[in-house]
Chains A and B, each alone.
Chain A
Amino acid sequence: MISTELVDASRLQFAIVALYHFLFVPLTLGMTFMLVIMESTYVITNKPIYKDMVKFWGKLFGINFALGVTTGITMEFQFGTNWAYYSHYVGDIFGAPLAIEGLMAFFLESTFIGLFFFGWDKLSKNKHLMVTILMAVGSNLSALWILVANGWMNNPVGSEFSFITMRMEMVDFWDVVFNPQAQAKFVHTISAGYVTASTFVLGISSWYLLKGRDVEFAKRSFRIAAAFGFASAMSVIVLGDESGYTVGEAQQTKMAAIEAMWETEPAPASFNLIAGINEQEQKNDWSIEIPYVMGIIGTRSLTKQIPGIHEIKEHNREHIINGAKAVTALAALRKDTKNEALKAEFDKYKADLGYGLLLKKYTEDVSQATPEMIQKAVDDTVPHVAPMFWSFRLMVAIGTGLLALFATALYMSVTNKCGNQKWLLRWALLFIPAPWIAAELGWFVAEYGRQPWTIFGVLPTHLSASTLTPGTVYGSIAGFVFFYTGLLIVEMYLMVKFARQGPSSLHTGRYHGEAHAAGGAIPKHAPADKA
């Protein structure tokens, strides 16, 4: 049996490297498109200030991208090194979108990013813009394929278990690609990335405006960020994960946990705005509810019911009892693969095989599982409610705050008042970290909410790990923490350094502080460049 300690260590490592990788991904997704907007403006208007914008924001984008790539390679390695049984069990389906991502998207992005940075003098304006567009398309297509793979983990469609090869196999690729879960995640994630990049540009531009330097440059950047950010924040909220809500059992479990819905309510259910969650007694001690709202969000109707946690668990109990029979039948069938009777027995319970495997956390021979073990497995099927409930609410609160910021910024920008509204500029500056916090919370809700499964209903997390010793995994965690901490310090240092220098880091001679370098006097209103 795989020890719980090993599985927990492997999960900790995965969480660290995935959350870390996700610090860099959203900015990349959004910045590439903002660079396209800025460069298109340059090509149309022919004003050099827009070219400087592409180059300057591109510089910050490059610093971020370097760590995105560094930490992205870890993600690919991680499945094989630490989740070997998972890789064997689902590689037939999960590996395909990853490989297609490399072929179709990552190659495109990575080839053209080189030309984006170094091709300015070698390419015509239009060709360079095309390069920038291809880079943006590549990065966003990458997200599509990764989320196709991830969506399948939450809603494993288009696949079937084979008892000969002991793994899940693909039966319909298009089902996997057009998995509603994957599509919902894709639009939600990329729009969140656009919001991240917009907030980044808006916040830094606001800082220049607060300092009263490089005003033309900052105002134009502010305007683009405000417009793009407003549209993106709308789509994050409107598209959201909502379209995925009604699909699949994974989402029902997740939704019940997110909403702390212990009991199935008569439709339409009310929405728990906040609640005092009592995990011990599996109820809410108190709650502030809004009638009807949950039913409408969750089912888009006033008549359909949403199952509560208790009902989901009772339902899962049947799955687990049937699943235990599937596990037993499979073991017999593996020893005598041509036996039709054994095959018929297995086929009868096959759909619940994954639920039967949940018992393996407690006993090697699941046919001997005691009622206590079954109860434990049943309790496992719903993640802890409080962390889900509060993470989700915090994420939504931040998202709403961002929408308000962008709506205000857009209004002020359109009415040409953005340069002197200090409160707005400070708000934008303070909100720079907000989308990152929201994105990490979103990752947590999606992935912690999938527990105890790596593949929902198919493969439990505790069976997915490699056969390593916990010490080995702790050792590698120490290595990752060491490298990642060092890299993050270096990256933050460079980000801050170049953000402070602003467009003068391009050394065009047109920006703040450069007159001095060229032998001229420092304008009185401009503070000395500290960087």
Chain B
Amino acid sequence: MLDYETLKVIWWLFVGVLLLGFAIMDGHDMGVGTLLPFVGKTDDERRVVLNTVGAHWEGNQVWFILGGGAIFAAWPLVYATAFSGFYWAMLAVLWALFFRPVGFDYRSKIANPTWRNSWDWGLFIGGAVPPLIFGVAFGNLLQGVPFHFDDELRSYYTGTFWQLLNPFALLAGVVSTAMITAHGANYLMIRTEGDVYRRSRTAAIIFGVLALAAFAAAGVWVMNGISGYVITSGNIPGDLPNPLDKTVMVQAGAWMHNYSVYGWAKLIPLTAFVGGALAIVFALINKPTMAFIGSSLSMLGIIGTAGISMFPFVMPSSTDPRSSLTVWDSVSSHMTLELMFFATLIFLPLIIVYTSWAYKVMSGKVTLDFIKNNDHSAY
């Protein structure tokens, strides 16, 4: 029904939507986890913080799991190459994520302060490490990753783990961690009051400013110091996916190319700044819901900027540019893309409906009184 080329673009958009869903939904839980040891000084305050996301973090985490599953199904070559290439980074994300289910569920089951304090730092790791590593990963994608394919399309990663931690990638890590933390702080303002609210507000402003400053710095760096990639022949959008069937060149300024061809694309980085600025202003004037919408918009802008700058590249190769993975040649078959397209079309709206219902049911401030009255059933 839909032609292959269109489906490939749709799936690029879908992966973007999933990443954004992950950033907005699981992101606010991760931000809350990152802030937990700092905005909660007493045990009861920390329990307030935990219970703001208590009923939802589990469902939100599925955005992440679904993101992985969707990339596996729609972009199997990206999934295979990125996960095996970024081996230790992916394991670090995984192991950091280990602390979340057990941290949330086990922490308050025993009243020992050492036990609880340890899990609080576990939840901090589970909140701060994944966004940091994802940011670092994006920083590396923009610079190209050292990998190539052999004739049978087996991928070989030839870099090291430490190479991933270069200055630009670390800056991208700061962008990502700061935006997630600010977003979590905005969420905490919606659901808390008193001291926790005040500390969250301070965090929302500090990390909001930091995220925008780092994003601006990264933008200047990309414009002036990082070469992009250009397809010079082959790689016809409607063709069967074969990454080796093209030639690619490294070219200064290539990541700016899409903005000059498609004028409207400039709106995306603009959204990042406008959304981020609104979030800070609304936090200042104590309108947390609006601030949360602002930080969501800002993330749309930041993730969208990375995507549009690189389009149609998804994972460029620095050592063998023709092995670079693009929207056109890293995808699944026509049938799988179409099937998954309809599955998404049916289920994603349903997910949004019941998730909204769940939030509506659990809405309202989590108070210290609530924690004291539900000592044995709350987190």
Q: Enumerate chain A interface residues (CB-CB to B < 8 A).
A: 55, 62-63, 65-67, 69-70, 72-74, 76-77, 79-82, 84-85, 87-88, 91-96, 98-104, 106-108, 110-115, 117-120, 122-123, 162, 164-167, 169-171, 173, 331, 334, 466-468, 472, 476, 479, 483, 487, 490-491, 494, 497-498, 505-507
Report the separation of the CA atoms of residues A487 and B95 in the bound assembly, to the nearest whole angstrom.
Answer: 12
Answer yes or no: B81 CB below 8 A from chain A CBs. Answer: yes
CB neighbours of A67 from chain B (8 A): 101-102
Judged by a CB distance under 8 angstroms, whether B9 is at the interface is no
Residues on the A chain within 8 Å of B361, using CB: 115, 119, 122-123
Query: For B102, what are the chain A residues with a Cβ–Cβ distance below 8 Å?
Result: 66-67, 70, 487, 490-491
CB of B378 closer than 8 Å to a CB of A: yes
The reply on B83 being an interface residue by CB < 8 A is: yes
- Residues in A with CB closer than 8 Å to B339 are 96, 170, 173
Interface string of B48-87 (1 = CB under 8 A from A): 0001001111110110011011101110110111111001
Interchain Cβ contacts under 8 Å between A and B, 26 examples? A65-B101, A66-B102, A72-B65, A74-B94, A77-B90, A81-B90, A84-B81, A84-B83, A88-B77, A88-B153, A91-B332, A95-B76, A96-B340, A103-B343, A110-B58, A110-B61, A111-B58, A114-B59, A118-B51, A167-B76, A169-B333, A170-B335, A467-B156, A468-B84, A487-B98, A498-B109
Other than the known A92-B73, A118-B362, what 16 A-B pairs have Cβ atoms closer than 8 Å? A73-B94, A76-B68, A76-B72, A77-B91, A84-B154, A84-B155, A87-B76, A96-B336, A108-B354, A112-B354, A118-B51, A120-B377, A162-B333, A167-B76, A173-B335, A487-B102
8 Å CB contact of B101 from A70, A95, A171, A334: A70
Q: State whether B90 touches A95 (Cβ < 8 A).
A: no
Is B208 part of the contact surface with A, judged by Cβ < 8 Å?
no
B58 touches A113 (CB 8 A): yes
The answer to whether A165 touches B154, judged by C-beta atoms less than 8 angstroms apart, is: no
Find chain A residues with CB under 8 A from B375 CB.
507
Interfacial chain B residues near A108, Cβ < 8 Å: 354
- The interface stretch among B217-225, B250-258, B344-352 is B344-352
* Chain B CB within 10 A, most for which of A96, A104, A170: A96
Provide the main secondary structure of the chain B interface: helix
Instruction: Report which residue of B51, B97, B104 has the largest number of chain A beta carbons within 10 angstroms of its beta carbon.
Output: B97
The minimal Cβ–Cβ distance linking B31 to chain A, given in whole angstroms, is: 18
Say yes or no: A95-B58 contact (C-beta < 8 A), given A119-B361, A165-B240, A490-B106.
Answer: no
Known: A77-B83, A92-B76, A165-B241. A115 touches B358 (CB 8 A): yes
Chain A residues lying within 8 Å of B51, measured Cβ to Cβ, are 118
B residues 31-60 near A (Cβ < 8 Å) are 51, 54-59
Check B344 against A466 for contact (C-beta < 8 Å).
no
Max chain A C-beta neighbours (<10 A), residue from B51, B344, B376:
B376
Contact residues of B with A, CB < 8 Å?
51, 54-59, 61-62, 65-66, 68-70, 72-74, 76-77, 79-84, 87-88, 90-91, 94-95, 97-98, 100-102, 104-106, 109-110, 151-157, 240-242, 332-333, 335-336, 339-340, 343-344, 347-348, 351, 354-355, 358, 361-362, 375-378
A104 touches B347 (CB 8 A): yes
Q: Given A88-B80, A467-B157, A483-B98, do A101 and B58 touch, yes or no (CB 8 Å)?
A: no
Given contacts A92-B76, A115-B358, A170-B339, are A63 and B105 in contact (CB under 8 A)? yes
Residues in chain B near residue A479, CB distance under 8 A = 91, 95
Q: Are A110 and B62 in touch, CB under 8 angstroms? A: yes
Asked if B333 and A467 sit within 8 Å, CB to CB, the answer is no
Residue contact A170 to B333, C-beta cutoff 8 Å: yes
CB distance from B328 to the nearest CB of A (A): 12
User: Beyond A99-B70, A167-B153, is A80–B91 a contact (Cβ under 8 Å)?
Assistant: no
B292 to chain A, nearest CB (A): 19
A162 to B59, CA, bound (A): 37
Contacts of A123 in B (CB 8 A): 361
Contact A468 B87 (CB under 8 A): yes
What CA separation (Å) do A162 and B334 show in the bound complex? 13
Q: Are A66 and B351 in contact (CB under 8 A)?
A: no
> Which residue of chain A is the closest to B69 with respect to CB atoms?
A99
CB neighbours of B333 from chain A (8 A): 92, 162, 165, 169-170
Contact between A164 and B242 (Cβ–Cβ < 8 Å)? Answer: yes
B105 CB contacts on chain A under 8 angstroms = 62-63, 65-66
- B97 contacts across to A, CB distance below 8 A: 70, 73
The contact of A87 among B61, B72, B151, B351, by CB within 8 Å, is B72
Q: A66-B105, A99-B340 known; A112 and B240 CB under 8 Å?
A: no
Report the Cα distance A82→B85, complex, angstroms: 10
Give Cα distance in the complex from A173 to B151, angstroms: 29
Query: For residue B86, which residue of chain A has the nearest CB?
Result: A81
Distance in angstroms between the alpha carbons of A65 and B105 in the assembled complex = 9
Nearest 8 interchain pairs by C-beta:
A91-B76, A80-B83, A95-B73, A111-B59, A114-B55, A102-B66, A84-B84, A95-B72
Taking the nearest CB of chain A, how far is it from the CB of B210, in angstroms?
29
Asked if B153 and A118 make an inter-chain contact with CB atoms under 8 angstroms apart, the answer reads: no
Bound-complex Cα distance A111 to B332 (A): 29
Cβ-defined contact, B54 with A507, below 8 A: no
Cα separation A166 to B151 with both chains bound (whole Å): 9
Q: Once the chains bind, are A107 and B59 in contact (CB under 8 Å)? A: yes
Q: Which residues of A contact B101 (CB under 8 A)?
A: 65-67, 69-70
Taking a contact as CB atoms under 8 Å apart, the answer to whether A472 and B95 are in contact is no
Inter-chain CA distance A96–B70, complex, in Å, is: 8
Once the chains bind, are A92 and B336 in contact (CB under 8 Å)? yes
Q: Are A80 and B104 in contact (CB under 8 A)?
A: no
**Contact A494:B109 (CB < 8 A) given known A88-B153, A99-B73:** yes
A71's nearest neighbour on chain B, judged by CB, is B98
Name, among A62, A98, A165, the residue most crowded by chain B CB atoms within 10 Å (CB to CB). Answer: A165
Residues of A contacting B340 in the complex (Cβ-Cβ under 8 angstroms): 96, 99-100
Enumerate chain B residues within 8 angstroms of A62, measured Cβ to Cβ: 105
Q: Let me know if A82 and B84 touch, CB within 8 A.
A: yes
Shortest Cβ distance from A160 into chain B, in angstroms?
Answer: 10
Q: Which residues of A contact B154 (CB under 8 A)?
A: 84-85, 88, 467
CB-CB nearest in chain A for B157: A467
Contact A165 B54 (CB under 8 A): no
Query: Does A505 contact B68, Cβ atoms closer than 8 Å?
Result: no
Nearest A residue to B77, CB-CB: A88
Most buried by A among B98, B157, B344, B355: B98
Q: Tell me the complex Cα distance, A468–B158, Å.
A: 10
A92–B332 touching, CB < 8 Å: yes
A424 to B152, CA, bound (A): 60
Residue numbers in A under 8 Å from B110 (CB-CB): 494, 497
Residue ID in chain B nearest A81 by CB atoms: B83
